[in-house]
Amino acid sequence: MSSIDTNGSSLEDSLRTLADTGPLVQHLTNEVTMNDVANLTLHWDALPVMADSPGDAGEMAELASALLLNIGQVPERKVEAMHEAAETANDRGIPVVLDPVGVGSTPTREGVAEALLSETEFAVIKGNYGEISALAGVEAEVKGVESIGEYDEIEETARSVAESTGAVVVASGVEDVVADADRATRITAGHERLGEVVGTGCMLGATIAGFCGALEDPYTAALHATLAFGLAGERAAELPHEGPASYRTNFHDAVAGFSPDVAAEFEPEDRLERVD
């Protein structure tokens, strides 16, 4: 793991720190996946709070350990609350994670994302291949909130977004990429069933926010969160299930049971590849 430059920290170390810290993670997210996001945050040993109204959002950000902004739904009041909470979080120096859901599909979402990026310092930006490509200004095909098409240079694209924003970038897909301006790591973990359940992208964003709330280094937090998420997805597929609905339940159980001892069963060096 040290070859991936995580300051000597292992996935097991990060999970222990997360459990010991129990960070309060504030979510301004969409209503479609809110319950799954809240439960998964709790399963990772973090504490979820859904404070997303103007006034309350800024007040809660005074107490939170990390903040997640998910633009899956962008009513005016929620966007106002996002800016309010983000300003407070930046003033306090707590990490802010952006999940630019569906950016590239409509001008409205692009405008919301651009305004947030212009006014907020983000620790991590997490999106699918299409969303990250749209943020980079390169050709991308986003249909609704889904990424469609081929992205052969996604590592370079992710590093470009990281360089322009100063954030660590997570590009999620069949294989996930974590990048900053100087490096990129490809992660091989996960299961195809994750793509059959609505909201797993939102849940990954919440996972990253939880790890960011407990760990000092955003690159390590993003890398270990994304790796743990994928490995839990694999464990969920090993449990008996008949389809996407029962797999979804398995996934929550797999996350809840993903202890440091479970993480130690995997060989991270087989899952992580520096590609810069």
Q: How many CA atoms lie within 13 A of 148 on its CB side?
A: 9
Which residues is 69 bridged to in the sheet? Answer: 28, 98
Q: Interior CA angle at 136 toward 135 and 142, to 5°? A: 55
Q: Is 50 annotated as a binding residue?
A: yes
Question: Tell me, what amino acid is at 12?
Answer: E
Q: Is 60 annotated as a binding residue?
A: no
What the block records as the tokens of 58 is: 């800024």
Q: Is 137 annotated as a binding residue?
A: no
Q: Is 199 annotated as a binding residue?
A: yes
DSSP E strand stretches across the chain = 24-28, 47-49, 66-70, 96-99, 124-128, 141-143, 146-148, 168-172, 176-179, 184-187, 272-274
By the 10 Å C-beta count (0-12 exposed, 13-18 middle, 19+ buried), 139 is classed as: exposed
Count of beta carbons in the 10 Å neighbourhood of residue 183 = 16
What the block records as the tokens of 162 is: 């990281």
Q: Interior CA angle at 52 toward 257 and 89, to 5°? A: 80
* Binding site per annotation, positions for ATP: 126, 172
* Binding site per annotation, positions: 50, 126, 172, 199
* Binding site per annotation, positions for substrate: 50, 199
